[in-house]
C-alpha cells in the first residue's frame, strides 16, 4: 500500500479499536489463542536472563506497566516460555533519550539476549538524533532492516502500539497499525544480512527454531503494557477442525445446476479441498456457528474469484443470504453483503464503502500460486478480517444469528486447507 494509505489505516485502527481495559483479553482474543504476558499485577511469566527468578531490582510495575526503573538495572528479562511461530502485541512508552528493545528467538547461549535474538528497536528517535528511517531507529529490525521514514511513531512520553509476527519464515514488524518491516528469515538475503552485521560473530544468531522473548535493560526508563502473545504453532482454544483433510464429511453441496454431480466440482486431494470452479455454487458446513475465530488457507493457480460465506441463512441457493469475505484475486479482504442489510465500516468513514461492498484497506494477499491465510473474527455484529496476519477490514451491522460457513465455486480452480474454528465464548 502507499505510505499515505498506510498512515490513514493506522489512524483507522486507532479510531476503531474496541474500548478495552488495559492488560486484559477480550473473549475474541481468548478464542484466537492469545495469552497475557502481563496482567497489570504480577510478573509470573518473566524471569531474568540466565536466572531462575525475576531480578531483585531494576524492574517494577508502574502506571499499570512493566517498568524499567531509574537507577541500577537488573538485566534483561525473558519469557519463561519459548516460541517458534508467534505473534506478540504490546504497547510501549519511553522516557526522553531512552533506548530499549524487544528481542525474540533468544537462546541462553551467550552473555546477552541480543547475541542470539533479533531486535525490534525501542528508542526515542528525537532524543537520540536518529533519523526515522535509520536502521537503529524505533521499529527497526536492529542493524539489519530499516523502517520507512514515514513510519507513524509517537514521541517520548506517549504510548505506541507494536506487533511482531513470525509465521512460516516471514517476520513482520508493525508500529501503530502500519507494517514497517517484512523479512523472509529462510532466505539467502537474511543469511547475508547477518553475515554483514556485527552479529556474525555470535553462533546461533537469528536462526533459533524456538526462543524466549526478552525486554531489554539498556539502562534507560521504559514502560511496557498490554503485552500479549499467541503461539501460532498451537491450536486455538476449543478449536474445531471443519475439514479433516481426507474427505468432505460434515459438509454439503449447493450448485446452480441442480443436475450436476458435486463430485465433478469438489474433491479432496493431498489434504486439500480442490474446487474446479464449475458450475457456480458452494460447499457449506452442516453445523451452524455464530461467534467465532475462523482460519482458512487458500490459493489460486490462476487469477480467479471465490469467497467465504459466513452466517448463511435462509434458502440454499446461488447465492444465499450471508456475509462474504471476498477471495477474488486482487480483492481478497473486501466484504460483500449478500441479500442482507449492508455492512458498515466499523470506523464510520465512507471512502471504502460501496453500498453493500466494503473495500479492503490494502492488498495483503500473496502472489497467485502461493498459499494465503484468512483469519475471520465474527463477534456479534462485528466482522474483522486479517490476511496473512495483516488487518485489512472491519465492519459492523452483520446479522447475528448462527449459520453455516461456506466456500464458493465461482469459475476458476481454487484450493482450501487448514479450515478451523474456535468459538467465542
Could you identify the residue written with the cell 531480578? 55
At which of 231, 251, 274 does a domain end?
231
Could you identify the residue written with the cell 471512502? 351
**Residue 240 cell numbers, joined:** 474445531
The answer to whether the beta carbons of residues 361 and 349 sit under 8 Å apart is no
**What are the pLDDT digits (tens) for 148-190?**
999 999 999 999 999 999 999 999 999 999 999 999 999 999 9
All residues at 6 or more sequence positions from 140 whose CB lies less than 8 Å from its CB, including other chains: 120, 121, 134, 146, 147, 181
Report how far residue 363's alpha carbon sits from residue 361's, in angstroms, rounded to the nearest whole number: 7
- List the beta bridge partners of residue 385: 376, 393
Q: How does residue 8 score in pLDDT terms, banded at 50, 70 and 90?
A: very low
Residue 260 covered by a domain: yes
Report how far residue 365's alpha carbon sits from residue 146's, in angstroms, rounded to the nearest whole number: 23
Determine the average pLDDT of the residues in 369-381.
Answer: 98
Residue 4 covered by a domain: no
**What are the pLDDT digits (tens) for 132-149?**
999 999 999 999 999 999
Burial class of 112 by CB neighbour count within 10 A (0 to 12, 13 to 18, 19+): middle
Residue 5 confidence (pLDDT):
43
Residue 20 confidence (pLDDT):
86
Q: Are residues 77 and 176 in the same domain?
A: yes
Maximal C-alpha separation, the chain:
78
Determine the average pLDDT of the residues in 5-30.
Answer: 67
Residue 2 covered by a domain: no
The answer to whether the beta carbons of residues 401 and 313 sit under 8 Å apart is yes
Residue 1 confidence (pLDDT):
38
Q: Are residues 190 and 119 in the same domain?
A: yes
Assessment of whether the complete model's pTM goes beyond 0.85: yes
Residue 350 confidence (pLDDT):
77
- List the beta bridge partners of residue 215: 77, 102
Determine the average pLDDT of the residues in 227-240.
Answer: 98
Q: Are residues 259 and 400 in the same domain?
A: yes
**Segments in 88-233 forming alpha helices (H):** 125-128, 188-195
Report how far residue 376's alpha carbon sits from residue 294's, in angstroms, rounded to the nearest whole number: 5
Residue 87 covered by a domain: yes
Residue 29 covered by a domain: no
Report how far residue 137's alpha carbon sits from residue 153's, in angstroms, rounded to the nearest whole number: 10
Tell me how many domains the chain contains: 2
Q: How does residue 197 score in pLDDT terms, banded at 50, 70 and 90?
A: very high
Residue 203: how many CB atoms within 10 A of its CB? 11
Report how far residue 292's alpha carbon sits from residue 283's, in angstroms, rounded to the nearest whole number: 19
Q: Are residues 388 and 245 in the same domain?
A: yes
Residue 170 covered by a domain: yes
Residue 349 confidence (pLDDT):
75
Does the pLDDT of residue 17 top 60, yes or no? no
Q: Please report, for residues 30, 65, 174, 222, the alpha-carbon distance to residue 81 in angstroms, rounded to integers and kept in the order given.
A: 18, 20, 23, 23
**Percentages helix, strand, coil for the chain, rounded to the nearest 5?**
10, 40, 50
Q: Are residues 264 and 126 in the same domain?
A: no
The answer to whether the beta carbons of residues 332 and 305 sit under 8 Å apart is no
Residue 24 covered by a domain: no
Q: Are residues 294 and 320 in the same domain?
A: yes
Residue 392: how many CB atoms within 10 A of its CB? 23
Q: Pairing between strand 357-358 and 77-79?
A: unpaired
Residue 400 confidence (pLDDT):
98
Q: Are residues 276 and 136 in the same domain?
A: no
Q: How does residue 6 score in pLDDT terms, banded at 50, 70 and 90?
A: very low
**What are the pLDDT digits (tens) for 256-302?**
999 999 999 999 999 999 999 999 999 999 999 999 999 999 999 99
Q: Please, what is the average pLDDT of the chain? A: 95
At which of 231, 252, 285 does a domain end?
231
What range defines the domain where residue 290 resides?
Answer: 240-423
Q: Are residues 248 and 215 in the same domain?
A: no
Q: Are residues 39 and 185 in the same domain?
A: yes
Residue 347 confidence (pLDDT):
87
The domain that holds 211 is classified in CATH as: 2.60.120.560
At which of 213, 231, 249 does a domain end?
231
Q: Are residues 186 and 88 in the same domain?
A: yes
Report how far residue 379's alpha carbon sits from residue 211's, in angstroms, rounded to the nearest whole number: 33
Q: Are residues 48 and 161 in the same domain?
A: yes
Does the pLDDT of residue 7 top 80, yes or no? no
Report how far residue 147's alpha carbon sits from residue 124's, in angstroms, rounded to the nearest whole number: 15
Q: Are residues 323 and 343 in the same domain?
A: yes
Residue 21 covered by a domain: no
Residue 285: how many CB atoms within 10 A of its CB? 20
**What are the pLDDT digits (tens) for 29-75?**
999 999 999 999 999 999 999 999 999 999 999 999 999 999 899 99
Amino acid at each position: 500500500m502507499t505510505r499515505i494509505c498506510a498512515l490513514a489505516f493506522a489512524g483507522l485502527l486507532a479510531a476503531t479499536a474496541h474500548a478495552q481495559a488495559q492488560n486484559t483479553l477480550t473473549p475474541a482474543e481468548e478464542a484466537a489463542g492469545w495469552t497475557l504476558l502481563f496482567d497489570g499485577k504480577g510478573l509470573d511469566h518473566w524471569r531474568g536472563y540466565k536466572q531462575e527468578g525475576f531480578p531483585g531490582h531494576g524492574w517494577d510495575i508502574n502506571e499499570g506497566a512493566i517498568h524499567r526503573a531509574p537507577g541500577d538495572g537488573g538485566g534483561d528479562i525473558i519469557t519463561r516460555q519459548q516460541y517458534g511461530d508467534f505473534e506478540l502485541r504490546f504497547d510501549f512508552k519511553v522516557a526522553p533519550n531512552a533506548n530499549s528493545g524487544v528481542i525474540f528467538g533468544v537462546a541462553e547461549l551467550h552473555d546477552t539476549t541480543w547475541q542470539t535474538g533479533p531486535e525490534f528497536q525501542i528508542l526515542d528517535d528525537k532524543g537520540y538524533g536518529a533519523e526515522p528511517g535509520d536502521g537503529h531507529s524505533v521499529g527497526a529490525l536492529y542493524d539489519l532492516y530499516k523502517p520507512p521514514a514515514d513510519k507513524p511513531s509517537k514521541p517520548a512520553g506517549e504510548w505506541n502500539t507494536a506487533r511482531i509476527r513470525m509465521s512460516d519464515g516471514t517476520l513482520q514488524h508493525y508500529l501503530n497499525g502500519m507494517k514497517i518491516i517484512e523479512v523472509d528469515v529462510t532466505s539467502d538475503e537474511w543469511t547475508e544480512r547477518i553475515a554483514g552485521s556485527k552479529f556474525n560473530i555470535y553462533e546461533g544468531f537469528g536462526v533459533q527454531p524456538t526462543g524466549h522473548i526478552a525486554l531489554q535493560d539498556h539502562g534507560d526508563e521504559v514502560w511496557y503494557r498490554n503485552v500479549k502473545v499467541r503461539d501460532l504453532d498451537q491450536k486455538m482454544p476449543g478449536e474445531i477442525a471443519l475439514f479433516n483433510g481426507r474427505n468432505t464429511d460434515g459438509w454439503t453441496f449447493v450448485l446452480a445446476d441442480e443436475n450436476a454431480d458435486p463430485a465433478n466440482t469438489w474433491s479432496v486431494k493431498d489434504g486439500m479441498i480442490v474446487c474446479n470452479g464449475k458450475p457456480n455454487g458452494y460447499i457449506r458446513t452442516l453445523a451452524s456457528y455464530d461467534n467465532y475465530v475462523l482460519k482458512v488457507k487458500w490459493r489460486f493457480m490462476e487469477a480467479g474469484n471465490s469467497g467465504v460465506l459466513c452466517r448463511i441463512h435462509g434458502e440454499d441457493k446461488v447465492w444465499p443470504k450471508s456475509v462474504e469475505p471476498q477471495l477474488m484475486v486482487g480483492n481478497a479482504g473486501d466484504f460483500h453483503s449478500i441479500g442482507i442489510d449492508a455492512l458498515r465500516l466499523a470506523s464510520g468513514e465512507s471512502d471504502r464503502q460501496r453500498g453493500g461492498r466494503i473495500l479492503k484497506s490494502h492488498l495483503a494477499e500473496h502472489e497467485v500460486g502461493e498459499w494465503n491465510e484468512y483469519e475471520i473474527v465474527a463477534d456479534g455484529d462485528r466482522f474483522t478480517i486479517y490476511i496473512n496476519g495483516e488487518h485489512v477490514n472491519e465492519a459492523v451491522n452483520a446479522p447475528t444469528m448462527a449459520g453455516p460457513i461456506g466456500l464458493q465455486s465461482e469459475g476458476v480452480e481454487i484450493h482450501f486447507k487448514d479450515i478451523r474454528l474456535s468459538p467465542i465464548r
